[in-house]
Structure 1
Amino acid sequence: MEAIDPAYGTATLLLIAAGAVALLLFLIIKVKLHAFVALVLVSLLTALAAGIPVADVPAALSSGFSSTLGSVALLVGFGVMIGRLLEVTGGAQVLADTLINRFGEKRAPLALGVAALLFGFPIFFDAGLVVFLPIIMTVSRRFGGSLLLYAFPAAGAFAAMHALVPPHPGPVAAADLLGANIGLTLLVGAPVAFASWYVGAYLVSQFIGKRVHVDVPTSLFGEINGGLDTDTADASGTGTTKTATQAPAFMTVLAVLLLPFVLISFNTVIDTLITAGLIQEDATWAGYFKLIGTTSIALLITVIVATLVLGLRGRSMATVSDILDKALGPICAVILITGAGGMFGGVLRTSGIGDALSGSLSNLGISLILQAFVISTLLRVAQGSATVALTTTAGLLSAAVAAADPSKLQLTALVVAIAAGATVLSHVNDSGFWLVSRFFGMDVKTTLKTWTVMETTLGLSAFALSLVLWSVG
């Protein structure tokens, strides 16, 4: 739903947004109201307080909810199916054992993060996190300690790649709006993402993980026994017997894990080539590659492949279907709460808070690089969506950037600064905040003092590097 004309001034709208966030935190943390109920209630009250016409309130609520569910529900559903198959067949254990044997126990968090950086090149944050979940959980169960020691390096890696590196949509759109070279943005963005991840995510996650203990949740995958035993009917048909099944080979498991990343890369790479003018947008073959590279389609294909090469090893299709069915039940709360988080962010955007804020910040009288970071940060905090913050800030600054005529490297530095601002301070109006909270079994207070802090240090690290690029450009 498009933003309405603001009913109030910027200051009033910002006070309404701040009050809505405070009320939401109070209801969830102090009153202990269920997060789904609290998010829907506060979204409704915020819509009314911000002056959205009463007749338009239902559409404003459903727009943010449905758009978030449209991207999250299929993704989480297929992702958890893949994860469950990796768990019960022993595939996740094989991956974890190989990872640890190669890198050692002390470097396990680093290995998880580096792997996520590589896998995160073509895949969105939420999709990468879902596919990596069983590996994170298995490694954490094996070595003990806080789940955050192992989860945050991987999650932070996906967040860094998603915000900073083409062909992800945010940096591509920002580069296009500012007139930056996408190839140079990629060449610069990748090492910036790695460096800012190492300082702002990996090192910080190890500091946080040693001070905040989070147990491995059992709601998504349960307590797994390694996946090497299956129930099969005995010869008389009157009972069941335990049949040992051999764990899949490492290369088989790795191929299943890589499949969605490879398929999704078709979509993101072709989009980048179309933006660069190297491929015609209406090319039929490109359309088919983009179709199978759509995240939900890629994960559907991966579920089918995982069923064939992992699930049916010593199991009937009925048994595999039962495994997949049991995987879906626990994710209902994850999907609904994430959708409600999207609803809250959508209401804030529809109310015109973002437009009013960006309009008032257009002439700050400070350097372009600092404007880029400050405006993007405020838009991120106000309405939650990193992609919206990226594209809105780039569009807002495009005229001033054209007039200033910065160098190619400085243009890339501006893209990095905008991406850095769009990364910091993930909180309750960000659907990604709720994904992390639910997947890792953390309450809101714990998520704020861990995930929000790490996202902020990640963004600040990237901004520091953008200042260096700007100064040498």
Structure 2
Amino acid sequence: MEAIEPAYGAGTLLLIAAAAVAILLFLIMKVKLHAFVALVLVSVLTALAAGIPVGDIPDALSFGFSNTLGSVALLVGFGVMIGRLLEITGGAQVLADTLIGRFGEKRAPFALGVAALLFGFPIFFDAGLVVFLPIIMTVARRFGGSLLLFALPAAGAFAAMHALVPPHPGPVAAAEALGASIGLTLLIGAPVAVLSWYVGAYLVSQALGRRIHVDVPKSLFGEINGGRDADGTTDEDPGTTNGGSGRAIDTATPRTAPAFGTVLSVLLLPFVLISFNTVLNTLMTSGVVAEDAGWAQFLRLLGNTSVALLITVIVAVVVLGRRQGSMADVNTILDNALGPICAVILITGAGGMFGGVLRLSGIGDALSGSLSNLGISLILQAFLIATLLRVAQGSATVALTTTAGLLAAAVADAGLSNLQLTALVIAIAAGATVLSHVNDSGFWLVSRFFEMDVKTTFKTWTVMETTLGLSAFVISLLLWSVG
């Protein structure tokens, strides 16, 4: 659906957006209205207030909702299936033990973050986070304390890689629009992402975790929550019925945990498959590979996030689930995985609906049009425009691509060096990262997965995303000055 001609000026639209966010927070935090209901209600009211024709409002609502669900529902569903199998079979415990053995118990949060940085190179933020959840939960349960100490370093790592490093779509699109080298953006963006993560995500998350306690969720992976004790036995009573299916699973029988290599192979499989898609997209864009090459199209199909996770679920069923019992037992395990994520998917979709309404109302276009000639340096202009677009409509990718498009003409006339062009891409990505809030579907994904209320999510996730973006922007300024 295309953006609708704005009914009001930029100032009025921004006031409408601010009022919509305020009403949404009031309904959720004060009235205690369910977040899904509140998001849909405020989306309708915002569409009316912003002047979207009444006949177009249903399409405007479904635009953001269906787009978000199309990318989130399948991967969250497949991801928690993989996670549940890892939990039940003890695979998550095996991986956690190995990581902790290599890095030491005191550096467990750092180990999770480093692993997420490596896994986050080819995979999108939401897909990486959902596959990594069982490892995060297992480590957090083992050592106790606030979940934030372990969850935020990993989540921040996926966010940093997604925003700053090609072949992720945002930095690739921004580099293309500005005429920057994708290869140089990759070579510089990767160390920038690591350094920004360490300062803006890892160190900040440890400070937040010491001040704010968040319990490890018990609903996402059921009561087993960790799969087994150190002796390899589950901690659930024998014969417990799971998921209301009426079929009892004998969880008291000791089972041999899978080998570390098996667990690592299952986790690496989606990342390898997804890398086919992301790398080939980059090669096709640069003309190295023909877009109509049959072999490339097939590999891209395998690398589609949903297809890659589907293949991984099937492999996990064979190499993990079937070792534990019959297919009926495996199906019950998978059923149990899907139940708790209904609210996660619906609330995330509704968050996408709210952001979609803000985009279609013309708020982003009106804002960017009024900011494109600020009379300040290009790199500061890039950061500010991306930040305001991010705050106004929620999507980091939209903020990245829109800001780069707005500045493309000015950048072409400025005669910048290759290093300065790359610094500009990083500055835009930094602005598109900060201040994640209620119009960002990622905000709700983190809130629901970690079972945090809205206020706590603001105090933790929003703060960490902002420090992560600011850290990247400071580095971009340094690169700009020496370029």
TM-score bracket for this pair, using the shorter chain length: over 0.9
1:289 aligned residue (278, 296, 299): 299
- Contact residue 94 and residue 247 of structure 1 kept, 8 A: yes
1:226 corresponds to? 227
1:412 corresponds to? 422
2:385 corresponds to? 375
- Contact residue 72 and residue 335 of structure 1 kept, 8 A: yes
Identity of aligned residues (%): 82
Q: Aligned letter for 2:193? A: A
2:114 corresponds to? 114
- Aligned pairs for 1:56-75 within 5 A: 56-75=56-75
2:273 aligned residue (252, 260, 263): 263
- Contact residue 43 and residue 357 of structure 2 kept, 8 A: yes
Secondary structure at 1:106 match in 2? helix
- The answer to whether 1:454 aligns with 2:464 is yes
- The answer to whether 1:83 aligns with 2:54 is no
- How far the C-alpha of 1:219 sits from its partner, in A, is 1.2
Structure 1 residues 240, 3: closer, same or farther in 2, change over 3 A? closer
Secondary structure at 2:146 match in 1? coil
1:318 corresponds to? 328
Query: Matched residues in 2 for 1:287 and 1:383: separation?
Result: 33
- The answer to whether 1:427 aligns with 2:428 is no
Q: Aligned letter for 2:480? A: W
Query: Matched residues in 1 for 2:382 and 2:464: separation?
Result: 21
1:23 corresponds to? 23
Secondary structure at 1:442 match in 2? coil
Higher deviation after alignment, 411-420 or 216-225: 216-225
- The answer to whether 1:339 aligns with 2:340 is no
Query: Matched residues in 2 for 1:376 and 1:191: separation?
Result: 22
Q: Aligned letter for 1:103? A: F
- Contact residue 122 and residue 278 of structure 2 kept, 8 A: yes
Query: Matched residues in 1 for 2:249 and 2:206: separation?
Result: 45
The total of aligned residue pairs comes to 469
- Contact residue 348 and residue 382 of structure 1 kept, 8 A: yes
Query: Matched residues in 2 for 1:335 and 1:465: separation?
Result: 35
1:216 corresponds to? 216
1:128 corresponds to? 128
Query: Matched residues in 1 for 2:60 and 2:202: separation?
Result: 38
Q: Aligned letter for 2:97? A: D
Secondary structure at 1:222 match in 2? coil
1:176 corresponds to? 176
Secondary structure at 2:289 match in 1? coil
Secondary structure at 1:449 match in 2? helix
Name structure 1 gaps, 5 residues minimum: none
TM-score between both structures, scaled by the size of structure 2:
0.96
- Measured on the aligned residues, the alpha-carbon RMSD in Å equals 1.4
Structure 1 residues 240, 43: closer, same or farther in 2, change over 3 A? closer
Q: Aligned letter for 1:277? A: G
- How far the C-alpha of 1:276 sits from its partner, in A, is 1.2
Q: After superposition, what is the alpha-carbon deviation per residue over 1:320-374, rounded to whole angstroms, capped at 9, x for unaligned? A: 0000011100100000000000000000000000000011111100000001000
Q: After superposition, what is the alpha-carbon deviation per residue over 1:170-222, rounded to whole angstroms, capped at 9, x for unaligned? A: 00000000000000000000000000000000000000000000000011102
TM-score between both structures, scaled by the size of structure 1:
0.98
Secondary structure at 1:244 match in 2? coil
Q: Aligned letter for 2:287? A: G
- How far the C-alpha of 1:2 sits from its partner, in A, is 1.2
Secondary structure at 1:312 match in 2? helix
Structure 1 residues 137, 239: closer, same or farther in 2, change over 3 A? closer
Name structure 2 gaps, 5 residues minimum: 241-246
- Contact residue 222 and residue 336 of structure 2 kept, 8 A: no
Query: Matched residues in 2 for 1:220 and 1:108: separation?
Result: 22
Query: Matched residues in 1 for 2:126 and 2:415: separation?
Result: 36
2:13 corresponds to? 13
Secondary structure at 1:122 match in 2? coil
- Contact residue 232 and residue 243 of structure 1 kept, 8 A: no
